[in-house]
Amino acid sequence: MSVVGVPAETLPRRLGGWSVVGLVVGITIGSGIFRTPASIAQRVGDPWWILLVWSAGGLISICGALSVAELAASMPRTGGWYLYLREGWGRAAGFLFGWSELVLIRASATGAIALVSSGYALRAAGIRASEPVVATVAAALILLAAAINIRGVRAGATVALTSTVAKFGALAVLVGAALLFGGDQGGSVEHFARSSVPPTASGVGLALISVLWAYDGFADVSFAAGEVRDPQRILPRAIIGGTLAVLGIYLAANVAYLYMAPASAIAASPLIAADVARMLAGEAGATAISAVVAISTFGALIGISLAAPRIFFAMAEDRLFFPAMARVHPRYQTPYVAIGLTGALGVLFALTRTFEQLADTFVLSIWPFYGLAIAAIYRLRRMRPDLPRPYRVPGYPIVPAVFIAGVAYLVGSALIQDPMWTGVTFGIVLVGLPVYWVTRKAVASS
């Protein structure tokens, strides 16, 4: 199959089924489940609302996964969301997404994940480090992740898959231990008692932003679709199956957290996984879970460093970005310039911003593009009925609409709750339009 404007493959197809599933779960389960429960509990308070918000985020993400799988199977080429936006809404939309990826999205995500990985790694080593030290170690982790992915796509996928097994297993052990033995260590079903003060609509909206940070990554593997073997079969199964697995472990983890500690205690604990492990197994348990979280988040960092640069690679091949971004390493056959650029920007963000600032910026700058890309399914079915669709969204047209509605609620809540920063974020995104016009003229005259 050929997609308009996409040249013949220059990156080899090396990723198999388990590697792709590992990337889906590995990218998604990163810092969120270990870092955001505190902010979610602060914003909604009630334990059942906490579980409801996590469930709602999972439902939105599953609808997104079911929907994007159609796009990924129809256009299994390098570029992911950039490709879907370009094919659905035109080159300007694709460029705007790529611009946002460059100046906001991936740098924010890379920096945020690296900061969590650094903090937990230092905690596992028994080091109480200051914020500058945490940021410096985070920068080093970003550079290491970039080096691994430049070495080869298989190396990056293998590390991501290994960390996926470790963190999924560790979460399962933590959940099982809490539910089976937590009763003797302070666990109680009374922690699930309803709060007398219901959450506000704005609080729910802000909590959803934190939840969607934890779920984000359900389709990032589509960025590397051009390197997946048998993509029409493997991509939909991996995206959907991986997202369902993440939903299950997230809900189980939150039930375990709430069983061991009331919502008020969770709200005061940014390291709730370590605190629960300490309740169950003392300081040794806290150290062990901190080490696993460090591995987990570094695996997510590997995954995001592997997937995201493929956007710049695809844009460069479309002559919408600097040609250097399309350079492939002569030995390792990886887009080393794009990987290096993403790593450098991630280092800059990690050294200058906090985790909360980076996570909020990421969600507000990327999820509107997700909604626009999923909306392209309706347009592509109407305008390009001949496009091969080996997989179609089940429950169409309702399933994509649920995802789009969730994105609209997210954006609306952010605009109401924090119009200034939300406006600044969207303003930086829209600066990409004049950059696109200038780039287009420069390419046309070259």
In whole angstroms, what is the distance from residue 179 CA to residue 192 CA?
14
pLDDT over threshold 60, residue 3: no
Q: Please tell me the predicted confidence (pLDDT) of residue 325.
A: 63
- How many residues are listed for the chain in this entry? 446
Q: Are 125 and 281 in contact (CB under 8 A)?
A: no
Domain assignments of the chain as residue spans, ordered by start: 17-387+414-445
pLDDT over threshold 90, residue 377: yes
Backbone phi, psi, residue 15, to 5°:
-90, 125
Q: Which of 98, 132, 107, 99 minimizes the C-alpha distance to 346?
A: 107
Report the chain's mean pLDDT, rounded to a whole number. 82
Q: Which of 306, 331, 294 minimizes the C-alpha distance to 116?
A: 294
Model pLDDT for residues 183-225, shown as the tens digit of each residue: 888 889 899 988 878 888 878 888 898 899 899 877 666 655 6
Q: Please tell me the predicted confidence (pLDDT) of residue 2.
A: 30
In whole angstroms, what is the distance from residue 404 CA to residue 358 CA?
23
State the greatest distance between any 2 C-alpha atoms of the chain, in Å, as a whole number: 74
Backbone phi, psi, residue 152, to 5°:
160, 145
Q: Please tell me the predicted confidence (pLDDT) of residue 137.
A: 95
CB count in 10 Å sphere of residue 385: 8
Residue 326 to residues 11, 213, 318, 334, 356, Cα–Cα distance (Å): 10, 29, 10, 10, 33
Tokens of 442: 């420069």
In whole angstroms, what is the distance from residue 113 CA to residue 220 CA?
15
CATH superfamily to which 17-387+414-445 belongs: Amino acid/polyamine transporter I (1.20.1740.10)
Tokens of 38: 């505190």
Q: Are 274 and 44 in contact (CB under 8 A)?
A: no
In whole angstroms, what is the distance from residue 353 CA to residue 350 CA?
6
Which one has a higher pLDDT value, 86 or 16?
A: 86
In whole angstroms, what is the distance from residue 299 CA to residue 160 CA?
5
Q: What are the beta bridge partners of residue 15?
A: 228
Residue 347 to residues 135, 142, 265, Cα–Cα distance (Å): 9, 7, 33
Tokens of 293: 């979280």
From the CA atom positions of the chain, what is the Rg in Å?
Answer: 21
The identity of residue 84, as a single letter, is: Y
Q: Please tell me the predicted confidence (pLDDT) of residue 5.
A: 35
pLDDT over threshold 80, residue 173: yes
SS3 state at 24? helix
For the ranges 173-182, 191-200, 246-255, 374-383, the lowest mean pLDDT is seen at 191-200
Q: Please tell me the predicted confidence (pLDDT) of residue 15.
A: 72
Model pLDDT for residues 228-256, shown as the tens digit of each residue: 777 767 777 777 777 888 888 899 999 99
Residue 407 to residues 57, 158, 369, Cα–Cα distance (Å): 10, 33, 9
Q: Please tell me the predicted confidence (pLDDT) of residue 248.
A: 86
In whole angstroms, what is the distance from residue 220 CA to residue 32 CA?
16
Q: Which of 442, 154, 145 minimizes the C-alpha distance to 320?
A: 442
Q: How far apart are the first and last CA of the chain?
A: 30
Cis peptide before 397 (omega within 30 of 0): yes
SS3 state at 228? strand
